[in-house]
A = this chain, B = another copy of it.
Amino acid sequence: MAFRTTSPEALQRRVAVIEKMGLGKGWSDGDLGHGRAYQFYSPDGHNMELYWETKWYDAPEHLKPSWRNQPQRYTGRGACVKRLDHVNVLAADVRASREFVQELLGYRLYERIELDDGTETGAWMSLTIAAHELIYVADAYSARGRLHHLAFWVDTREECLRAADLFVDADVPIEAAPSKHGVAQGFFLYGIEPGGNRVEVTTGGYFVYDPDREPVTWSAAERARGQFWGVKTVDSFHTYGTPDVANEKEAMTT
């Protein structure tokens, strides 16, 4: 994951902190869309990097938008997602991972799951008013550095339903049909892209305008209720991640 800092100075300050922590890997020359970046490991072993220099998208002539406050002409092709919305990563130790990004990157914690024995198994965090931008969920295999899913934003629930129709006819395996989450209340559709990663098409949720909002903590008993409208979460959702350490992919996509 690559994060853009709020300024060049903020980048230097973060790099100094990471180096003191001993988690730094060093500078890269940059990548598609951004300039040099400082790379490091999270405590769980996820690859992360910070950068300031960015390259703005300049639409080619045939994709120039009609209104200048849009980045690109509206094409309406396929699922037609608008932007990356959030990333959900698995972690062997959710609490440690969550505290790391709170302290290092300034994430705020909006919702979390805590088992009766005090183990933290989920954390929904954000740098903005959006209900979640980064999520940590416990890895069922205690593996390190795995991905749960990438979520792409659409503006309406109708577009999630439309994406589901497209998935069905395009042979994209649907892991979880469109419905509404209880935690964070986002509307979702989960599928498995050809490379094996879980992807979400999402919209909705809520905004947090309060500077001092207390996180909502859910118990295991409450989680047993299922999703917002009572849909039971499929088992694979609690275990599958990429890389696929338990050879679950075949069962999911065939």
Q: Which A residues are closer than 8 A to B by beta carbons?
A: 4-7, 54, 65-70, 73-80, 83, 111, 128-130, 155-159, 161-162, 164-169, 171, 174, 177-180, 182-185, 204, 206-207, 209-211, 216, 218, 222, 227-231
Contact = CB atoms under 8 A, between A and B. Distances in A.
Contact of A228 (B67, B79, B183, B231): B67
A117 B227 CA distance: 38
Grouping DSSP codes into helix (H, G, I), strand (E, B) and loop, the A interface class, with mixed when no group exceeds half, is loop
Most buried by B among A165, A166, A184, A185: A165
Contacts of A54: 210
A203 B220 CA distance: 34
A169 B129 CA distance: 25
A76 to B, nearest CB: 5
Contacts of A157: 156-158, 161
B156 A68 contact: no
15 contacts: A7-B211, A65-B169, A66-B169, A69-B182, A69-B184, A69-B206, A73-B169, A76-B79, A129-B129, A129-B130, A156-B157, A164-B180, A167-B229, A177-B179, A177-B229
